[in-house]
Amino acid sequence: DSGVTQTPKHLITATGQRVTLRCSPRSGDLSVYWYQQSLDQGLQFLIQYYNGEERAKGNILERFSAQQFPDLHSELNLSSLELGDSALYFCASSAPGGANVLTFGAGSRLTVL
Amino acid sequence: AQSVTQPDIHITVSEGASLELRCNYSYGATPYLFWYVQSPGQGLQLLLKYFSGDTLVQGIKGFEAEFKRSQSSFNLRKPSVHWSDAAEYFCAVGVGGSTLGRLYFGRGTQLTVWP
């Protein structure tokens, strides 16, 4: 157990729908990162939050959004889902001053039918 | 732009044999370098990291990696592979500044271990 908790582990939904993925970082970590892992693109950085503020944005689609709450958990919202959004979505966290040392959760596998 | 290349998509070795997984990166300055391992159905586990100093770094599970600036490489090695090492291995480069924490990953190398 890495200490980073992601729910749900698996999710099956239909095209056009909206889903929310949740992440609880390790205790004491202030940064949360979201990554997408797909066969086509590999591991792609989506977005980073630090203590509630957006810190960096990567290849995140406009249909996707995220936020980090005061208790530091984060949610990734995926809307108007397409078949190509099927992927494994990872959350990771790092400690203050953790200099890129990310601890990953087990991931949420999204299947869009 | 930053990029990471893992030239070997799939490697097969016999248990007890030595292992070297290759990684090349492209980045203008000295990067932070990482190796992660992903077992089926699992998240990514950090094996080792290089930030500065000694270019040979030791990690968990008996792995080591060597940073070679002249070759822009950070190859992962293990002297004797165990069946439990079968997994997918990812090399990553991290950049500092305002994007602290953002990692660029290679496409991964799948390791199969024959008994």
Burial class of B70 by CB neighbour count within 10 A (0 to 12, 13 to 18, 19+): exposed
The predicted pLDDT at position B91 comes to: 97
Distance of alpha carbon A55 from alpha carbon A33, whole angstroms? 10
Can you give the pLDDT of all 113 residues of chain A as single tens digits?
A: 889 999 999 999 999 999 999 999 999 999 999 999 998 899 999 999 999 999 889 989 999 999 999 999 999 999 999 999 999 999 999 887 766 789 999 999 999 99
Kindly state whether B96 is in contact with chain A, defined as any CB-CB distance less than 8 angstroms. Answer: yes
Kindly state whether A60 is in contact with chain B, defined as any CB-CB distance less than 8 angstroms. Answer: no
Q: Kindly compute the dihedral angle of the four CA atoms of residues B44, B47, B49, B55, in this order, to the nearest 10 degrees.
A: -150
Nearest CA in chain B to A56: B99
| Residue among A44, A38, A5, A36 nearest A22 (CA) | A5
Task: Assign B59 to helix, strand or coil.
Answer: coil
Is the pLDDT score of B24 beyond 60?
A: yes
State which amino acid sits at residue A106: A
State which amino acid sits at residue B106: G
Residues 47 through 86 of chain B touching chain A, CB cutoff 8 Å:
49, 51
A59, A44 Cβ separation under 8 angstroms: yes
Distance of alpha carbon B68 from alpha carbon B81, whole angstroms? 23
Q: Quickly tell me which residue has 């270019």 as its tokens.
A: B55
